[in-house]
């Protein structure tokens, strides 16, 4: 959106509802006045074509913000909402198992396509790898075929079943 000049901003001033009018009239000092200043800054930011990211953590992250802020999102007053994962914990569910199954996690071939195409520049593959690591380290949940390799790494410091002392044994047979 093109940047608007001052007169354009003035002519497009957002209409004030009863709550805004109440706040403007009564919130005059200290923290209350700072809230009014912040709201005016937000309004100017939007009128100048800026975008707003709302970031919330803790208890508010459970407030079904997509629904609470739906009208503001529709009116393009909020472009992005960023919440902590607390809402997942508080609803008694976990990302792994309740939202992503072990089968889905293991289906990833680590091709990196999602990282290259991601429109918000996060790295889904890092998350997938960490979830896989958590499965193995925290839940000892690995395919049976991998267990031999894990035990070899632990005992022989390599994926093979030979003792480290025998690694050069082949040279005697050459």
Query: Pairing mode, if any, of strands 80-83 and 53-56?
Result: parallel
Interacting residue with ligand SF4 among 35, 113, 136, 137 (CB under 6 A): 113
Angle at CA of residue 108, ends 127 and 122, nearest 5°? 35
- Judged by CB under 6 A, the chain residues 117 through 136 that form the site for ligand SF4 are 124-125, 128
Number of helices (H), then strands (E), belonging to the chain: the values are: 11, 2
Q: For 137, how many CA atoms within 13 A lie in the half-sphere containing its CB? A: 6
Distance CA(13)–CA(47), nearest Å, equals 8
- Residues near 148 by Cβ (< 8 Å), separated by ≥ 6? 161
- HEC-encoded secondary structure of 139-163: HCCCCHHHHHHHHHHHHHCCCCCCC
* Interface size with ligand SF4, residues (CB under 6 A): 10
| Complex with ligand SF4: residue 36 or 131, whichever CB lies closer | 131
Smallest gap, in angstroms, from Cβ of residue 114 to ligand SF4? 3
Exactly one of 19, 53, 111, 120 binds ligand SF4 (CB under 6 A); that residue is 111
Nearer to ligand SF4 (CB atom), residue 124 or residue 149: 124
Query: Does residue 60 touch ligand SF4 according to CB under 6 A?
Result: no
Task: Choose, by CB under 6 A, the member of 47, 114, 131, 135 that binds ligand SF4.
Answer: 114
Please report how the helices 30-47 and 18-26 are oriented relative to each other, as an axis angle in degrees rounded to 10.
130
- Report d(CA 87, CA 60) in Å as an integer: 9
Task: Please tell me whether residue 47 binds ligand SF4 under the rule CB under 6 A.
Answer: no
Given candidates 110, 123, 141, 151, which one binds ligand SF4 under the rule CB under 6 A?
Answer: 110
Among 14-22, 63-71, 72-80, 106-114, which window interacts with ligand SF4 (CB under 6 A)? 106-114
Binding site for ligand SF4 (CB under 6 A): 108-114, 124-125, 128
């Amino acid at each position: 959106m093109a940047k608007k000049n001052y007169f354009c901003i003035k002519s497009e001033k957002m209409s004030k509802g009863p709550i805004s009018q109440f706040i403007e009239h009564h919130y005059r000092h200290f923290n209350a006045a700072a809230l009014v200043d912040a709201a005016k800054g937000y309004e100017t930011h939007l009128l100048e074509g800026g975008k707003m990211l709302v970031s919330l953590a803790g208890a508010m992250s459970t407030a079904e913000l997509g629904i609470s802020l739906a009208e503001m999102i529709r009116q393009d007053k909020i472009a992005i909402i960023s919440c902590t994962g607390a809402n997942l914990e508080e609803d008694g569910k976990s990302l792994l198992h309740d939202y992503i199954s072990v089968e889905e996690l293991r289906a990833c071939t680590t091709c990196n396509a999602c990282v290259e195409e991601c429109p918000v520049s996060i790295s889904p593959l890092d998350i997938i790898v960490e979830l896989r690591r958590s499965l193995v380290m925290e839940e000892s949940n690995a395919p049976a075929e991998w267990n031999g390799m894990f035990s070899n790494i632990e005992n022989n410091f390599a994926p093979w079943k030979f003792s480290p002392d025998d690694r050069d044994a082949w040279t005697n047979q050459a």
